[in-house]
Amino acid sequence: MSGRGLRGLRWLTCCSNGLLRGPQIVTQCLAPSSRTMATESEVLQDLTTTPPVDGVVSRLTTSIPKPVWEIPPVQTTVYSFPSMEPLRFVEYSHKHLLMPLRRDILHRAVIYEGDATRQGTASTKWRGDVHGSGRKLYQQKGTGKARVGDKKSPIRRGGGVAFGPHPRDFSTGLPRKIYDQAWRIALSYRFRQGQLTIVDDEISLPDGATPHLIKRIFKANSWGRGNGRSTLITDRKDDDLFAVVNEMHHDAKILDREDVDVKDLLETGRLIIEKRALDKILAEHSKDLKNQPAKARY
pLDDT confidence of residue 41: 47
Length of the chain, please?
298
Which positions of the chain have pLDDT values less than 50? Answer: 16-41, 43-44, 46-48, 53, 55-57, 60-61
Residue whose C-alpha is closest to residue 223's, from 260, 258, 270: 270
| 112 touches 174 (CB < 8 A) | yes
What is the 3 state secondary structure string of 203-224?
CCCCCCCCHHHHHHHHHHCCCC
Contact between 76 and 191 (Cβ < 8 Å) = yes
Residue 294: the pLDDT is 64
Counting other chains too, the contacts that 69-76 makes at CB distance below 8 Å and 24 or more residues apart are 71/98, 74/98, 74/191, 76/191, 76/196, 76/198
- So what's the pLDDT on residue 256? 93
CA distance 39 to 43: 6
Alpha helices of the chain — where are they, by DSSP H? Answer: 3-49, 56-61, 94-97, 103-117, 176-192, 211-220, 239-246, 262-267, 275-284, 287-290
Structural class in CATH, domain 74-113+174-285: alpha beta
Q: Rounded to an integer, what distance in angstroms lies between the CA atom of residue 91 and that of residue 275? A: 12
Output the pLDDT for position 264.
95
Give me the pLDDT at residue 186, please. 96
Q: Is 171 exposed, middle or buried (0-12, 13-18, 19+ CB in 10 A)?
A: middle
Mean pLDDT of the chain: 81
Predicted TM-score (pTM) above 0.85: no
Kindly report, residue by residue over 90-117, the tens digit of the pLDDT. 999 999 999 999 999 999 999 999 999 9
Residue 250: half-sphere exposure toward Cβ, Cα within 13 Å = 5
d(CA 270, CA 279): 18
Query: Contact, 256 vs 236, CB < 8 A?
Result: yes
pLDDT at res. 226: 85
Q: What is the pLDDT of residue 22?
A: 44
